[in-house]
Amino acid sequence: MRKSFVEVLRSPGRRRRLRLAEVSAKEEFVDIGVLKEVEGTLAFPLVRGIPRFVQESNYADSFEKQWRLFREEQVDSQSGLSLSHDRFYEVTGWKPSDLRNKWVLDAGCGAGRFAEVALDAGAHVVAVDMSGSVDVCYELLHERYPDRLHLVQADLLQLPFAPQSFDCVYCIGVLQHTPDPPEALRKVADRVKPGGKLAVWIYEFRANTFFGVYAWKYSLRPITKRMGYRFNLVFSFLLALSLWPLWYPLSFLGRIGKFFLFFLPVAARAYVGFGRHPGRQFRCVWLDTFDMYSPAYDSPQPAERIRKILDECGIKQVQRNAPGAFSGIRPPHLG
């Protein structure tokens, strides 16, 4: 962590300023130390240059293991593809010029698939995750973006930043995996500056939520979410492997393939047209199938609720860019 980054941070919940203590490094980058409240008693460790505002073990543990195993599947610079780039701009509705030289909050960064896209656009990215996947993100991206990537391990429900402190905020595929998605959305939206932009993507509760692949998912999850990481890893692997003769040929059939893939208990629909990379395609389907069945929380939200919360948080001009994808702005202060 750069010493100057401490000015951006606040103690979670209390919003008190922090200072660096017990730091031996003389350089601008601090690897190990302690962050203490300027006026208060709370202290937080700084490990591997990353401020840690959560307990070492928490409900997001499975995501750390997930991104350590599948660290290359969704990060474009590792896969050689543009899946995350295309997904990012589809969900946000933004352009690279919207991010250049802006301070951007990545709320739920995982291995850094979308942080990389924002960094490539020239943004200063503060990438936050509750799990230890922040360490994976560090390993993949820090060397290339040492001056513009800032990593923080923290809970979306207790973000360690002042309100309205970022030019752009995005949260893609994370809110539904928190214990309280509406409250997490409020906390994320609260960090957008006047004149700033917000984009979120969340599992949307729709008419088809309990049909096809979703019926499989929400029928099996009461069991699988309690079975632990190893069980779900093997379970999702065997599902993807046993159904390979069905989903792999269907991935060459465009919309027709997507229609039939909807009824299988594996997450293969996103990879239609991906068949020229069979090995990588299999790992992506395995990853997304694991992601379907293993998280501790998975709570789809109706579009009307999302819109209402965003309006209550002062986010206006809300657009629905795709199912579950909403973007808007916080109007600038006048006068």
Tens digit of each residue's pLDDT (9 = 90 or more) over 97-136: 999 999 999 999 999 999 999 999 999 999 999 988 999 9
Q: Are residues 162 and 221 in the same domain?
A: no
3-state secondary structure the chain: CEHHHHHCEECCCCCCEEEEECCCCCCCECCCEEEEECCCCCEEEEECCEEECCCCCCCCHHHHHHHHHCCCCCCHHHHCCCHHHHHHHHHHCCCHHHCCCCEEEEECCCCCHHHHHHHHCCCEEEEEECCCHHHHHHHHHCCCCCCCEEEEECCHHHCCECCCCEEEEEEECCHHHCCCHHHHHHHHHCCEEEEEEEEEECCECCCCCCCHHHHHHHHHHHHHCCCHHHHHHHHHHHHHHHCHHHHHHHCCCHHHHHHHHCCCCCCCHHHCCCCCCHHHHHHHHHHHHHHHHCCCCCCCECHHHHHHHHHHCCCEEEEEEECCEEEEECCCCCC
> What pTM did the predictor assign?
0.92
From CA 198, how far away is CA 215, in angstroms rounded?
31
Q: Is residue 334's pLDDT more than 60?
A: no
Asked if residue 37 and residue 175 are part of one domain, the reply reads no
In this structure, are 185 and 117 located in the same domain?
Answer: yes
Q: Is residue 316 part of a domain?
A: yes
Q: In which band, very low, low, confident or very high, does the pLDDT at 182 lie, cut at 50, 70 and 90?
A: very high
Domain that holds residue 270: 212-293
Whether residue 228 is contained in a domain is answered as: yes
pLDDT of residue 335: 46
In a domain, 137, yes or no: yes
- One domain for residues 43 and 89: no
In-domain check, residue 76: yes
Same domain, 19 and 68: no
Contact 190, 166 (CB under 8 A): no
Is residue 38's pLDDT more than 60? yes
Residue 334 maps to a domain: no
- 64 assigned to some structural domain: yes
Residues 239 and 170 in one domain: no
* One domain, residues 151 and 25: no
| pLDDT of res. 25 | 63
**Model pLDDT, residue 98:** 96
On whether both 187 and 253 belong to a single domain, the answer is no
What's the mean pLDDT in 16-41?
85
Any domain includes 72 = yes
Are 225 and 176 found together in one domain? Answer: no
Assigned domain for 335 exists: no
Q: Are residues 31 and 149 in the same domain?
A: no
66/286 Cα distance (integer angstroms): 11
Q: What is the pLDDT of residue 279?
A: 85
Summarize the confidence of residues 77-86 as an average pLDDT: 88
The predicted pLDDT at position 24 comes to 64
* 45 and 59 share one domain: no
What is the C-alpha separation between 113 and 83, in angstroms, rounded? 9
Q: What is the CATH number of the domain that holds 148?
A: 3.40.50.150
Single residue among 27, 52, 77 that ends a domain in this structure:
52
User: Structural domain tally of the chain?
Assistant: 3
Output the pLDDT for position 26.
63
pLDDT at residue 57 in the model? 61
Alpha-carbon gap, residue 97 to 123, rounded angstroms: 9
**For 214-271, how does the pLDDT look when each residue is reduced to its tens digit (9 = 90+)?**
999 999 999 999 998 999 999 999 999 999 999 999 999 999 999 999 999 999 998 8
Euclidean distance between CA atoms 324 and 301, whole angstroms? 8
Q: Are residues 94 and 181 in the same domain?
A: yes
Q: How far apart are CA 187 and CA 210, in angstroms?
A: 29
